[in-house]
A and B are shown apart, each in its own frame.
Chain A
Amino acid sequence: MPVNLLDEPDIQAENRDYHWTLNFGPQHPATHTTLRLLLELEGETILNAIPDIGYLHSGFEKLGEHLNLNQYVTVVDRKNYISPPMNEVAWHNAVEKLLEIEITPRCKYIRVMIGELARISDHLLCTGAAALDLGAFTAFLYAFNLREMIYDIYEEMSGYRFHPGYTRTGGVMFDFTERVTGRIEKFLVTLPKILADMEKLLFRNKIFLERMRGVGVLTKADAIAYCASGPIARASGVTYDLRKDEPYLAYADFDFSVPYATEGDCYARFHVRMEEMVQSARILRQALDKFPGGPVNVPIAEKFPMPDKGTTYGSMEGLIQHFELVMPNRGFQTSVNEVYAAVEGPSGELGYYLICDGTQVAWRTRTRPPAFIHFQLFPHLIRNHMISDIVAVLGSLNIIAAELDR
């Protein structure tokens, strides 16, 4: 798609008096979260944008060095709070890779399902909010209403709506009940209808298309050089998806496609996300159909999972294991080692560089935050566009400030 760019202005020029400096954010309705941009303008054209981040920095990585491997799951939830279960899956994926735990098939399926639900939830918000920012309010309401069903599923499975804290080393907190799978079934019936409604509202909406097409173009070479991943890279033609290319959990069992585009503009990113929801629904459908029975946690003999109530009060091993896990100075054995493990998060590669020193508490819990890495693309994408394009580009990058600043 050809893009017309204005002549590159000489921003180093001596005479810059006619350039405006505009402060955008940190509290601006269109940034959704606390992002701040310093814009250098010539008229309404953006010559340079300098992001200033850190307003929401909460020291999550430092906290990870003081909480044990299971406790930290409540903190990772709060990073990308639009799709908390995906953070949990990513975190425990790293922990289990470090400790070389092979989780049960049922648990793998459960984690695939909560991960895909989180992906749909994230994409719904992202596509809905992208439409909202460009004036299409109705699509946003449809999307947000559907996210409510996902929250109901989280609540049914874990007891918490927003931050489930559901995964544990070697398993999950509770097994899926019939009611949870029933709710997912119902959700899978509703999802295509809502997606069809959103398509009808947006795909032929002239204002929406005009403001998305050709705006914020990211080339394939730039996507790779700037470490972009996930839907943003795939919209620029980098067809890399960890679920396909480095299958983890049970993704090798499912039949699904990786949507991609080559235009690299806001519309391509929007479109890739819409299609990814369809593919996630396919995965969910197959996961429900093939959902294996059996235990959900690894055996207690492996010393990792918290035994359920029956085992705790009904058997000596269960009682001992329960005691070992709840006492602060005890717990399971870890190793002096380090590992990098990543999963395909909703907005890109969500990885953990985890270093353990043999104690219950991690030595270092480095997150690879997709939002942080994608936000550095922003000045590059917005240069020579207009002020009103900021919301389109920001919306298409899906920046979650809690993950950006951690």
Chain B
Amino acid sequence: MTTTKSSRPTPDATLARIRKRCGEGFFSVSSHLDNLRLHVPPEKLVELTTRLRDEFGFHLTELGGADYLGYPGRSSASHRFEVHYVLLNYETAERLILKTGVSDPDPVLPTLVPVWAGADWLEREVFDMYGIVFQGHPDLRRILMPEDFRSFPLRKDYPLRGRGERHNFERVTREDS
């Protein structure tokens, strides 16, 4: 079967529709080619994503974090971490990127697991790599790094070669394993 979505709405049309239905003022917009980014405050995130899912048919495809410590053009007042949520509408092939900022020393964001079950591991990975806590997550544990690892390796202040964790791993011998 061929399913061409020939009438794929432009990012501007998508934005206009969201503005009309959800109001404006609580988010700011940036874009690059067909990437449309809405910068949303954390407290509005669950409400907005739920509405985007139920009223607009958007679904999560990608979730990831980034550390902007020392990024050019960023003032000290802006957020250190940002989490992006790439949403996709399977019917119209529209895409939308939500971005939420959060800062040290206590980075906390609401979880999206109740909205999309697939956010589970993706949020765990962001927690593992950046230490951002997703409040309400059912099982927020480290996922890629060992459980007893203390640092958050993708933070910009974590060195590429680590802080010697690897050399200081406890040696497990055959006798006491």
Contact = CB atoms under 8 A, between A and B. Distances in A.
Interface of A: 53-54, 57, 59, 61-63, 65-66, 97-98, 100, 222, 224-229, 238-241, 244-246, 257-258, 260, 336-340, 342, 349, 351, 353, 355, 357-358, 363-364, 366, 368, 372-373, 375-376, 405-406
A373 B122 contact: yes
A21 B94 CA distance: 44
A54 B71 CA distance: 29
B64 A368 contact: yes
Contacts of B125: 372
Given A54-B146, A57-B145, A97 B33 contact: yes
Contacts of A339: 32-33, 35
5 contacts: A61-B129, A65-B160, A241-B3, A351-B61, A364-B66
B29 interface: no
A71 to B, nearest CB: 14
Interface of B: 1-5, 8, 32-33, 35, 59-62, 64-68, 71-73, 84, 86, 88, 90, 93, 95, 97, 116-122, 125, 129, 142-146, 153-154, 160
B144 A245 contact: no
Nearest to B146: A54
Contacts of A342: 61-62
Contacts of A57: 144-145
B116 A225 contact: yes
A54 B145 contact: yes
Between B65, B84, B90, the greatest number of chain A beta carbons within 10 A of the residue's beta carbon is seen for: B90
Between B4, B61, B97, B121, the greatest number of chain A beta carbons within 10 A of the residue's beta carbon is seen for: B61
B153 A59 contact: yes
Nearest to B93: A245
Nearest to A58: B144
A239 B86 contact: no
A99 B64 CA distance: 21
Contacts of B144: 53-54, 57, 405-406
Contacts of A246: 8, 93, 95
Contact of A224 (B1, B32, B68, B90): B90
B120 A366 contact: no
Given A239-B3, A245-B3, A340 B97 contact: yes
Given A53-B143, A368-B86, 6 more contacts: A63-B160, A98-B32, A226-B118, A244-B3, A245-B3, A363-B66
Nearest to A233: B90
A229 to B, nearest CB: 7
A335 to B, nearest CB: 9
Contacts of A353: 62, 64, 66, 84, 86
Contacts of B61: 227, 229, 342, 349, 351, 368
B33 A340 contact: no
A162 to B, nearest CB: 24
B145 A373 contact: no
Nearest to A338: B32
Contacts of A338: 32
A406 B128 CA distance: 13
A376 B118 contact: yes
Closest 7 CB pairs of A and B: A227-B118, A366-B64, A54-B144, A226-B118, A376-B121, A245-B93, A368-B62
Given A229-B61, A339-B33, A340-B35, A258 B72 contact: no
A367 to B, nearest CB: 8
B27 to A, nearest CB: 17
Between A62, A97, A241, the greatest number of chain B beta carbons within 10 A of the residue's beta carbon is seen for: A62
B1 A258 contact: yes
Given A57-B145, A340-B97, A405-B144, A227 B59 contact: yes
A239 B5 CA distance: 11
A227 B87 CA distance: 10
Nearest to B3: A239
A226 B117 CA distance: 5
Between B1, B120, B121, the greatest number of chain A beta carbons within 10 A of the residue's beta carbon is seen for: B121
Nearest to A227: B118
A245 B71 contact: no
B4 A245 contact: yes
B84 to A, nearest CB: 6
B145 A62 contact: no
B120 to A, nearest CB: 6
Contact of A373 (B65, B121, B129): B121
B165 to A, nearest CB: 12
A258 B154 contact: no
